[in-house]
Every structure is written in C-alpha cells, then in structure tokens.
Amino acid sequence: MVRSPESPVLTINGLVKDVGPLPTLDGKMLRVVSGLSLIAERGQVTALLGANGAGKTTTIECAQGLQRRTAGSISLLGQDPDTAGAGLRARVGVMLQDGGLPPSARPIPLLRHIAGMYQDPWPVDELIARLGIDSFSRTSVRRLSGGQKQRLALAAALVGNPEVLFLDEPSAGLDPQSRQMVFDLIAELRNSGMGIILTTHLMDDAQRLADYVYIIDAGRNVAEGTVAQLLRHELPAGDDGQHIRTLLFETEPGLDFTGVLPDGVDITEARAGSYAATGALTPADLAAITAWWAARGIMPSSLSLEARSLEDVFLDISGREIR
C-alpha cells in the first residue's frame, strides 16, 4: 500500500492499558491492551478488526483521551490526547459504540447544540438531509430505532467537520439501506481527505470499507495489511499470491472425487449431496471437475465459486475457539 507523504493522523506505539483491580481476578489488574501499535493516514479508512473483547474500543478510547493509557505513546494530529485541549477536540469527531446521546433530546436541537461548540461547523441542515435525519426529526433519541440512532450519532460526530473521525462499530443496528447510506458517506469523507479510524468485529465492514486493516486479538496486533494483502495471508510458499477459493456445488450424494483435483484442494461433503472444494483453485481445476461431471452425465443442481473471505483469514489467525 502507498503510504502518504503527509504525517499520519494517528500514531500509536506500544500501547498498554491495565484495568482494575478486579474482584474477579482476586484484586489483580487485567491487561486489556498489551503493546499495540498502529498508524492511521489521512484520506484513508483504517480498521481495527477483532472479536468482542479484543481491546479495540479501549485502544481508540485511549486515542480519544477518554481513557488514560498505562504505557506507550499516542500522537493524534501531532498531539498527546491526554494533555491536549479544546483545539485538538475541535479537529476530531467521535462516534461512540453506545451513541452517547441524551435519551430525552430531539435530533435537530441536539445537533444544533453540538454545532455551537465549533467556530465553523458543518451546516446542520446539510447533515440532516445527507443522513436522512429529517424523517425522524420529531422523535426523541430514546424512541429512535438502532439504525436511526447510529445515523444521528454519526451526524453528531461530523458536525464539527473533523479532520479525524473515530467510529466504534459504525454498522451496529443498521438496516441494509442505512448501512449503504453510512458506507457511502464514509467513502466520500475518506475521498475528501478525512482520516477515518473504525473498529469492527464484522469482516464484511472491513472488507468493504477499509484501506488498511489491523487485526487485533487479546490486546495485541496479530496481522495487518490491505484487505488484498490479508487475503493472501498464509498461502503455501511458491504459490505467488493466488487466492484461496471455495467451489460449492450440489448434486447426487456419495461421489468419490479422488484424483480429480490436485492435492492442495480439499473436497468435503458437508451434508449429503452438498460439496465444498477449497484451495488455490485454477481455471484448469474448474475444467477438470466439469469434464469429470460431463464424462459421468452429472449436472449439479447448484454451483458457486467464492473467494476466501477476510473472515477465513481472521479465523485462521486468531483461532477458531469461541471466546
């Protein structure tokens, strides 16, 4: 990936965060982030991807100055968030996981109130129209749906027209339409030069939005790269970056595919008549299997080809056990 020549919007180096002492740990401290580092650039979406409890929210809250770090260094637009003042906060927009909006408030007066905290805010009417807030402008925050609340929280984060935008689980509770609207807006903001840092446990979000992904597990960096780089992760040596793909098809049960496909490709019959062939499939492999069917007069009732998803990479790296 091409690193921009400008200085990054956020640099985190060796971040450590202990919480506690916790009664559940016999009064000991719990280390929720241990030595995490990342860089987020201007004009890019940087995603922190990890399971629940991986330390994503703690990490960005340390960057926002909401939590005090135990050790390590953080530079947000060149300043330390722990000591910076209103000048830095005016350049940074934050959308919290729980929204952080007062339940009794109505959307438009709330946005106007927050806009008043800035010298030159984003015109509230524009934000309202862009995020479809006018359709629920008379409803109090407490009665909004999850998706409406998320859109309002995004508007509240953007009203200062920030240089850096933090989004904690931005697609939580969004219906498909709102999700498309929010994702389009994020892409536009990125193209306009904003540095966007988001956390997500959804591979699909990261795959669709992120220019650069940090996979976080148990408070540590476990992998990083562009989505394309991560998708090539852990392929056998000498395979020169071919994608792992899965060929799914349904036909008569109990077929023996021995010798049809090369050794690297696994064929499993998940349930009777439903097969999955996974590996670095080549066009020649597809020709081989369809020729094999043709020779035997087999016509699959369904057939699809899927690339290896970021989810597979994530599970390979962070392990498949439930936490």
Partner 1 sequence: MTRVSGSAPLGSAPLGSPARTAGGRAPAPLLRRILLQGQYETITMLRNGEQLILAIVLPLLAMVGLTVTPLLDGLGPSRINVAVPGILALCAMSTAFTGQGIATGFDRRYGVLRFLSTTPLGRTGLIAGKVLAVLAVLFLQVLVVTAVALMLGWQPNAAGWLPGLAILVLGAASFTALGLLVAGTVRPEATLAITNLLWILLGALGGIVIPAERLPALSQAVVHFLPSGALGQALRDAFLYGSVNAGAVLVLLLWTAIAGGAAIRWFKWN
Interface contacts to partner 1, rule CB under 8 A: 64-66, 85-87, 89-92, 94, 96, 98-105, 113-114, 116-120, 122-123, 126-127, 129-132, 135, 156, 160-163, 177-178, 180-181, 184-185, 187-189, 191-194
Task: Give whichever of 137 and 304 is closer to partner 1, judged by the CB atom.
Answer: 137
Task: Give whichever of 130 and 220 is closer to partner 1, judged by the CB atom.
Answer: 130
3-state secondary structure of 19: strand
Q: What is the DSSP letter of 143?
A: G
Instruction: Report how far residue 36's alpha carbon sits from residue 72's, in angstroms, rounded to the nearest whole number.
Output: 9
Task: Give whichever of 114 and 235 is closer to partner 1, judged by the CB atom.
Answer: 114
Task: Give whichever of 86 and 322 is closer to partner 1, judged by the CB atom.
Answer: 86
Q: What is the DSSP letter of 79?
A: B
Cβ(217)–Cβ(50) under 8 Å?
yes
Nearest Cα neighbor of 210 from 222, 198, 223 is 198
3-state secondary structure of 276: strand
Helical (H) or strand (E) element with 111: helix 107-115
Tokens found for residue 2: 């091409």
Q: How far is the CB of 171 from partner 1 (least distance, A)?
A: 13
Task: Give whichever of 120 and 321 is closer to partner 1, judged by the CB atom.
Answer: 120
Cβ(47)–Cβ(206) under 8 Å?
yes
Q: How far is the CB of 319 from partner 1 (least distance, A)?
A: 29
Q: How far is the CB of 152 from partner 1 (least distance, A)?
A: 11
Q: How far is the CB of 142 from partner 1 (least distance, A)?
A: 9
Tokens found for residue 183: 């994702």
Task: Give whichever of 5 and 87 is closer to partner 1, judged by the CB atom.
Answer: 87
Q: How far is the CB of 149 from partner 1 (least distance, A)?
A: 11
Q: How far is the CB of 63 from partner 1 (least distance, A)?
A: 11
For the chain, the distance separating the N- and C-terminal CA atoms, rounded to the nearest angstrom, is 32
